[in-house]
Amino acid sequence: MKNYIPKIAAIHDISGVGRCSMTVILPVLSALSCQVCPLPTALLSNHSEYKEFFFYDFTKHMEEYYNIWEKNNAEFDCVYSGFLGSEKQINIILDIIKKVKSKSNALVVVDPVMGDHGIIYKTYTEDMVRKMSQLVANADIITPNLTEVSILLNEQYVNKDVNLETIKKYLKSLSDMGPNIVVITGITTDLGEHINACYDRKQNNYWKIPFEYIGTRYPGTGDLFTSLFIGYLLNNYKLPESIELASKFVSEAVKVTCEANTPHQEGVQFEKIMRKLYDGVNEYKYDIIQLGEYKLNH
């Protein structure tokens, strides 16, 4: 894939201010030698963690928008969905996945963006939350945070001190819903570790990948992580390697932002370290990257 540019249908909202969703996905995946083709789910003036925001539901335009891609014979290597603007969009995305899969063995990645810190986002309805499980069932990979894990599995939300057996149970239960690979992000274990955890059903392997926790959280880091993760996978990096590289970049971006002391709502200043993405992929230094692969049962 070194001389090939993977093409990704990115089905996300566009938030003008706040460094999240499409404004993160486009530059990051482009830096990782991927072509991003945006299909908007909603238009927002800024993300919903701001007190005031404009929100325009793009649902009624999505089918026509994608149908033009179909007429132009567009094919994709990956379908990547995130924040949704309405319940109907889930049916539209399921149809898009079916059409894309009929042309190629595309990777389907669903980031089930529904909430964070134990709180469901303001624009999500109960019907949308229930319907999300259908989209998850049609994914190859999902990347929920612990809030989204609790919603999908109807479990009580726990934001820290999670033991490894519980994490393994969550991973397996989510995989049983359909996806072969499940990555749960932003976990603090009962041993005080900060990890992203992964289960690969085909290999029957559980992984925990530690990351440096800087001491604060910013909006949009989930979009940043999943975009990086997909980019590395599509550049033929191994699964745990892709998670670790994505985790390290996010931690460094958070550290740079903390040092800059910019407003929390503006998200992380990933732009300051973007050169690392270009350098890493273009040089293909697979042999010198330390994977740091840790099985969860260790």
Q: What CATH code is carried by the domain that includes residue 28?
A: 3.40.1190.20
Range of the domain at 235: 7-295
Domain-embedded: residue 239: yes
Lowest mean pLDDT among 60-69, 78-87, 154-163, 276-285: 276-285
For residue 1, being part of any structural domain is answered with no
Q: DSSP class of residue 189? A: B
Average pLDDT, the chain: 89
- Per-residue confidence band for 282, with pLDDT thresholds at 50, 70 and 90: very low
In a domain, 237, yes or no: yes
Number of domains in the chain: 1
Reported as a single tens digit per residue, the pLDDT across 141-178 is 999 999 999 999 999 998 888 999 999 999 999 999 99
57 part of a folded domain? yes
Note whether residue 69 is domain-resident: yes
Q: Is residue 51 part of a domain?
A: yes
Is residue 2 a part of any domain in this protein?
A: no
Q: Is the pLDDT score of 11 beyond 90?
A: yes
DSSP 8-state code for residue 291: -
**Residue 111's closest CA among 142, 154, 145, 151?**
142
Is 132 domain-assigned?
A: yes
User: For every residue of 143-168, which 3-state class applies, written as one string?
Assistant: CCEHHHHHHHHCCCCCCCCECHHHHH
* 3 state SS of 295: strand
